[in-house]
Amino acid sequence: MTIGTKIAWDDTVLPFQLDHSDIRGRVARLDGALESVLKQHEYPPQVEALVAEATLLTALIGQTIKLRWKLSLQIRGEGPVRLIATDYYGPTEDGQPARVRAYAGYDQEADLGDAAPFSLLGAGYFAILIDQGEGMVPYQGITPIAGSSLSACAETYFAQSEQLPTRFQLSFGKSTLPGEGAAWRAGGVMLQMMPKASPFAAKDGGSGDEGLLAHQDLVDGDEGENWTRVNMLLDTVEELELIGPQVGPTDLLIRLFHEEGPRVFDPQPVRFGCTCSEERVRQSLSIYGAEDIAEMTTEDGVVTADCQFCGAQYVLDPKTLGTQAGQDDA
């Protein structure tokens, strides 16, 4: 695709609410942040597409977490693409940007051919994890990989694990700016019904894959009519409205939902950011004994560690690592 220019809304998530329908949502645009995520690696095109979709989903879902919390997506498959992992770090202070990072683990010897990206995952699971900080037990929810896209997996997760009707409409791909090379860009809308006072109880399973709940299974009556109507409006959105520079998020909401009473809140900027450090590497190796550290030591007499997210490499003296470090200092 060809994009004319960048806009001020790039790398931003805008939360909103539809007052007449009791539905909330977010609009996201990722540009430089997504490009920074993907340029750390030389992924095949299908793997790039999966990472781009997962990163956009993470930005949309993660916007609701509190300051200094971390939200992660983990998609593990049994196919050539074995893992898609993303992290969203809530801002350290009000007004500060959130940070996002992502990487993929895949069989580099596999011939991916022209296979559709999602098919490369195969069977597996989709998980959301929330880390509230030191001293708190992390939250984890897991559902099977379902549907035909990562956004469909996320919809199934919210229906099955959270019992919240949720829809995503996403667009992502490489765009070309005048005088510049191609770069990744993504945009999307997330819709979610406000939580009920009493949780939904499924009696006969859902209408999704293998009887899993789907978003439409969780609503009925007036609530169901509102949800169906708003989803029909969302289905009319065009790719360039999601990803192009001509329509800002606030204008998009008015175009799509002007009769639903859209109300926007403070936007959240998003940046690429990695939290790796030598201190964190040392901490992760602190549980290993001398024999384990010796097995990790290279012929050059050092221990190396590479960050999967940003590609940083750490070269460490084995004598300063593991349980032996504390013994040597004693």
Q: pLDDT, tens digit, for every residue of 52-69? A: 999 999 999 999 999 899
**Residues 84-124: pLDDT tens digits?**
999 999 999 988 999 999 999 999 999 999 999 999 999 99
213, 323: one domain: no
In this predicted structure, the answer to whether residue 237 has a pLDDT above a threshold of 80 is: yes
- Return the closest-CA partner of residue 268 out of 22, 17, 26, 23: 26
Please compute the mean of the pLDDT values over residues 133-156 and round it to a whole number.
93
The verdict on 303 and 259 lying in the same domain is no
Predicted pLDDT of residue 2 = 44
Q: Which domain holds residue 73?
A: 12-272
- The pLDDT assigned to 329 comes to 45
CATH number for position 46: 3.55.30.10
Query: How would DSSP label each residue in 268-295?
Result: EEEEE-----HHHHHHHHTT--HHHHHH
- Together in a domain, 321 and 224: no
Residues 170 and 137 in one domain: yes
Is the pLDDT confidence value at 171 over 80?
yes
pLDDT category of residue 247 using cuts at 50, 70 and 90? confident
CATH number of the domain at 320, please: 3.90.1280.10
DSSP code for 318: G
Number of domain units in the chain: 2
Lowest mean pLDDT among 3-7, 23-27, 162-166: 3-7
pTM: 0.85
Q: Is residue 173 part of a domain?
A: yes
Query: Would you say 152 and 143 are in contact if contact means Cβ atoms under 8 Å apart?
Result: no
CA-closest candidate to residue 64, choices 266, 235, 231, 271: 266
Report yes or no on 6 lying in a domain: no
Please, are residues 129 and 71 in contact by the beta-carbon 8 Å criterion? yes
pLDDT at 221 over 60: yes
Average pLDDT over residues 235-257: 91
